[in-house]
Structure 1
Amino acid sequence: MRERSALWKKRVAQAARTDKTRTRPLTDLYRGDHWTQSKRLLQWAEKAHFNAELWVASAGLGLQPVSAPAPAYAATFSTRHADSVATSTASSAEWWSHLQADSGRTTLADLGKRGPVLMVLSEVYAKAMGAELRELGGLATEALLIGGDEEIAGIQRVASDAGLRGALGGTLTSLNVRMAASWLQHCEDRSLTSVATSNSWHQWAVGASKPERHNREPMSDEEVIAFIKRGIASAPGASRTRLLRALRDSGRACEQSRFAVLFNRTMGNQ
């Protein structure tokens, strides 16, 4: 793992040096609903009277400010994704440790020493960053985690709640970010984790959360393949996971393993 991560970092650095015309700030590099909503967090933070900075937890670059330049890359901790950098929780954590090992790297604890920290993390990313999260929890600072996978001492956590999607809108991929934005809207005392803020948000969430009922329409193999072809045509390079999510968000059904077989068959015939 150490050799792989070292080679990865070397290639990213070489790509940045070799063709600077393809290097751009991270804020301009990412796409999708999750990232669009993430950038809007700064607006809500300012309205809540926080002097905020936006950072990215990247499986390819480590913890970086959105102003950091980088070449286009493909890396994720989602183990079933074609661009996954690891095959297990343990290897994801090891990969993250190597990414962050360079001298001068900023950690979550470093950010915590500057002020309150609001983190929006999926389960797989929270597991990969577990050691840093525990280090942050050891500080006497305000720290809030939206999403994640477990409770960590010293960090207030709000677990992801799919029942809030009806109230917050958007797809499941951006749910945690939208929850974070909603939380900031309830920060009326300039405190991220105060009792007043927490009570205000949870009172709203209890009334807003509604269990989702999925009555998706089943599809034939031919219909699924046609959907995949349309998806690839409109978004070349779209991953299998992304297309399956889009299919389900459209109200139609396809079991994950079946979709994987049809996706591989479709891509192999192109």
Structure 2
Amino acid sequence: MNVVNVVVTCTKDKKQPVPEECKLRNVPGNSLRARFKEWQSRINRNKRNRVIVKDLYAGDHWSNVRSFGSAFFEIDIWVCSAGLGLVRFDDLITPYAATFSQNHPDSISAPLSDDERPDAFKQWWQLTSRWKAQFEDRPRSLAALMAAYPNRSLLVAASKNYLRAIADDIRKGLPKLSDPDQLSIVCSGVNSLDGLDANLVPCDARFQAATGGARRSLNTRLANKILREARVPPRASILAARYRKLLRQQPAIQKYDREPMTDDEVRQFILRQLNQNSSLRHTPLLRMLRNKNKACEQKRFSALYREVVESING
């Protein structure tokens, strides 16, 4: 049976506890390379409580990944981990907290200078790709993955920030595939990508009507739809034609006239709700806020939620 390589991104939500020294916010370094070297040391010191990749992450995004399937070909899942580089679904890894998302305390770019920040994601990904010791003979970059499996179709589902980090790696690997049409990329809202336009699957928020769920998990929901409906391994040209047509058939993006809130107002709302139910996560809390016709952007709400939780936990 044919095998399709599917590459997804990690998620900030974890099922397993993360050691404090394996949270990137706690890792010093006066340069990106120095910080990465210290990060490697900390991860290597914490091998005792390693878990399987598929069992580490949580949330809607990861639920979609775990449900990937096809009746017509096998699927081999790989994960672009901001903390560890390219890992496979069944690899054993140390629980960690690191992300390519911006405005997050564990972001790769959080403490960097203005000179370092523009290329930080790309440079960090390059450093993880050279990290061999913990992962035996696995491909450690997307280029290496494509070189190892030149005849497999490759479906990449990534957010804008993660795609920014891995795009050069994808470009480097594309010539290693038997046919560039074997590569398909799902990234909501990205309509053009230098050298990879022919590989982009049309996708934006309008597909929520077809896939359901939150926008933050739209990429993996669409990837799941592609995999479950395809009778042969995905080809970019076929997917582009099909999903461009399907996108035109979707209803317009719904706009809301919600009342904006200050940071303090949002914090107070979160605190009140957590005092009533301390187990509430930020996603259902944001839904509750919006149901009251109040406005708060998702990343901002998530950051404020973390602030409140950290203040409660002391």
Inter-CA distance 134–86: structure 2 relative to 1 (3 Å threshold): same
**Are 1:29 and 2:66 an aligned pair?**
no
Do the aligned residues in 1 keep the contact of 2:86 with 2:141 (CA within 8 Å)? yes
**Are 1:126 and 2:126 an aligned pair?**
no
Of 184, 187, 191, the match for 1:144: 184
**Displacement, 1:171?**
0.7
Aligned pairs (5 A) from 1:190-209 = 190-193=232-235, 195-209=237-251
**Displacement, 1:102?**
2.8
- 1:13 alignment partner, SS class: helix
Do the aligned residues in 2 keep the contact of 1:34 with 1:174 (CA within 8 Å)? yes
Counterparts of 2:297 and 2:78, CA distance in 1: 35
User: Structure 1 stretch 150-159 or stretch 243-252: which is displaced more?
Assistant: 243-252
Do the aligned residues in 1 keep the contact of 2:79 with 2:86 (CA within 8 Å)? yes
Counterparts of 1:185 and 1:264, CA distance in 2: 36
Inter-CA distance 70–135: structure 2 relative to 1 (3 Å threshold): same
**Are 1:187 and 2:237 an aligned pair?**
no
State the partner residue of 1:86.
109
Q: Which runs of 5+ in 2 are unaligned?
A: 1-31, 111-116
- Residue 33 of structure 1 aligns to which amino acid in structure 2? D
- Residue 74 of structure 2 aligns to which amino acid in structure 1? N
Cα deviation 1:119-164 (Å, max 9, x = unaligned): 0111111111122011122234310000074424355102541111
More helix by share: 1
Do the aligned residues in 2 keep the contact of 1:244 with 1:259 (CA within 8 Å)? no
- TM-score with structure 2 setting the length: 0.70
**Displacement, 1:226?**
3.7
- Residue 61 of structure 1 aligns to which amino acid in structure 2? L
Percent identity reads 27
Do the aligned residues in 1 keep the contact of 2:183 with 2:236 (CA within 8 Å)? no
Do the aligned residues in 2 keep the contact of 1:120 with 1:177 (CA within 8 Å)? yes
Counterparts of 2:302 and 2:63, CA distance in 1: 28
Counterparts of 1:227 and 1:98, CA distance in 2: 41
Inter-CA distance 222–72: structure 2 relative to 1 (3 Å threshold): same
State the partner residue of 1:234.
279
Counterparts of 1:260 and 1:76, CA distance in 2: 14
State the partner residue of 2:86.
63
**Displacement, 1:201?**
3.2
Of 75, 80, 95, the match for 1:72: 95
- Residue 75 of structure 2 aligns to which amino acid in structure 1? A
- TM-score with structure 1 setting the length: 0.81
Q: RMSD of the TM alignment (CA)?
A: 3.2
Q: Which runs of 5+ in 1 are unaligned?
A: none
- Residue 234 of structure 1 aligns to which amino acid in structure 2? S
- Residue 177 of structure 1 aligns to which amino acid in structure 2? T
Do the aligned residues in 1 keep the contact of 2:52 with 2:92 (CA within 8 Å)? yes
Aligned pairs (5 A) from 1:219-258 = 219=261, 224-229=266-271, 230=273, 233-234=278-279, 250=291, 252-254=294-296
**Displacement, 1:23?**
1.6
**Displacement, 1:62?**
0.2
- 1:118 alignment partner, SS class: strand
- 1:208 alignment partner, SS class: coil
Task: Considering Cα pairs closer than 8 Å and 6+ residues apart, tell me whether 1 or 2 has the greater RCO.
Answer: 2
Inter-CA distance 60–209: structure 2 relative to 1 (3 Å threshold): farther
